[in-house]
Amino acid sequence: MIFANILDVVISILTIFPQMVREVLSYGPVGRGVKAGFLEINPVDLRDFTLDKHRSVDDKPFGGGPGMVMRVDIIDAAISNLKSQISKPQLKTTKTILLSPQGRLFNQQMAQGYSKLDHLILISGRYEGVDERVREHLADEELSIGNYVLSGGEIPAMVVADAVARLIPGVLGNEESLVSESFSANQPSTINHQPLTYDFPHYTQPMEYKGWKVPEVLRSGNHAEIQKWREEKARKKS
């Protein structure tokens, strides 16, 4: 099923729409990283752990109210199954994350920390949410990607997976891209020795288009001045 190579970094996403996750994360650097064997994206179909012929993952809330709530026993069975598959010394560090509106706001520094794990499990809720016991007993952390309402946790989970996966060594073809991009704690700075927050502006051909010109400093060949210009422009965005 998964873990063909137990040295892979594994990102598992618990969802009722595994095909959505599989399709979206098969493109770009993440898809190439998977094909090259630097990581494994593992969509887990929660319906595989259901108990009835209708494969129901949800039920009515106790106390009444609208909507349906995802069951704790189904999610627990999926997580337990995953952890039983990775009880190997090569995969030591696992963290289980619940995507929820009240979670901590996800950022680049958190992505960097997660990229050092062996196994990241992301729980995608649906309907009115998940049984509170998932948060209390099964999740190590709760994450949010912003203060707005989405139809489910799949998109937030894929946002986290994409941000984390591209930080895994080998996933990006050019590792230098990680150094200068937005929000990277490793961005170089020669001005006041302060790390940058946003990326600097980028230009390419044509040199002039509709009277819009590439800044002259970028055409000067003076690398010190180019670096200074880039840092100043990035800092103005911060």
Express each pLDDT in 141-190 by its tens digit: 999 999 888 889 999 999 999 999 999 999 987 554 555 555 554 444 44
**What mean pLDDT is predicted for residues 66-92?**
82
Structural domains in the chain plus CATH codes: 9-165 (3.40.1280.10), 177-237 (1.10.1270.20)
In SS3 terms, 8-71 reads as: CEEEEEEECCHHHHHHHCCCHHHHHHHHHCCEEEEEEEHHHHCCCCCCCCEECCCCCCCCCEEC
- Burial class of residue 119 in the structure, from the number of CB atoms within 10 Å of its CB (0-12 exposed, 13-18 middle, 19+ buried): buried
Confidence of residue 86 (pLDDT cuts 50, 70, 90): low
Confidence of residue 110 (pLDDT cuts 50, 70, 90): very high
Give me the helices (H) in the chain, please.
18-24, 28-36, 72-85, 108-114, 132-133, 154-165, 177-180, 223-237
Q: What is the pLDDT of residues 9-44, one digit of tens each?
A: 899 999 999 999 999 999 999 999 999 999 999 999
Q: Is 1's pLDDT higher than 50?
A: no
Model pTM score: 0.80
Strand partners of residue 87: none
pLDDT of residue 89 exceeding 80, the answer is: no
